[in-house]
């Protein structure tokens, strides 16, 4: 399982072009954790098929933590 990092939210990512099962690290489009010190919320999601929205796996304050989480899925 691989992961891809996008500095945009998943609504703008061509998920249909990504392999099923891959993880995506991106901005959380709903900013569900809110903004802390002006930081955006990062999301890790999994592509589950070509027609459905991605499966959310985790929300993070920091991009480094989101990458670390995605790497733990390998």
User: What does the pLDDT look like over 48-60, one tens digit per residue?
Assistant: 988 888 899 999 9
Strands, E assignment, the chain: 3-9, 23-27, 42-46, 55-60
pLDDT band at 26 (very low <50, low <70, confident <90, very high): very high
- Going by DSSP bridges, is the β-strand pair 23-27/3-9 parallel, antiparallel, or unpaired? parallel
Average pLDDT over residues 4-21: 89
* Total domains in the fold of the chain: 1
Q: Average per-residue pLDDT in the chain? A: 88
Q: Round to whole Å and give the CA distance between 50 and 31.
A: 24
Write down the pLDDT at residue 31: 80
Q: Which residue has the higher pLDDT, 26 or 29?
A: 26
Range of the domain at 65: 3-72
CA–CA distances in Å: residue 17 to residues 23, 51, 62, 63: 13, 11, 26, 23
Q: How many residues in the chain?
A: 74
Residue range 31-43, pLDDT digits in tens: 887 766 777 889 9
């Amino acid at each position: 399982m691989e992961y891809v990092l996008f500095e945009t939210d998943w609504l703008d990512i061509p998920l249909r072009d990504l392999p099923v099962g891959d993880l995506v690290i991106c901005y959380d489009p709903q900013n569900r954790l809110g903004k802390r010190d002006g930081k955006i919320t990062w999301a890790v999601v999994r592509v589950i098929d070509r027609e459905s929205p991605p499966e959310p796996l985790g929300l993070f304050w920091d991009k480094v933590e989101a990458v670390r989480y995605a790497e733990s899925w390998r």
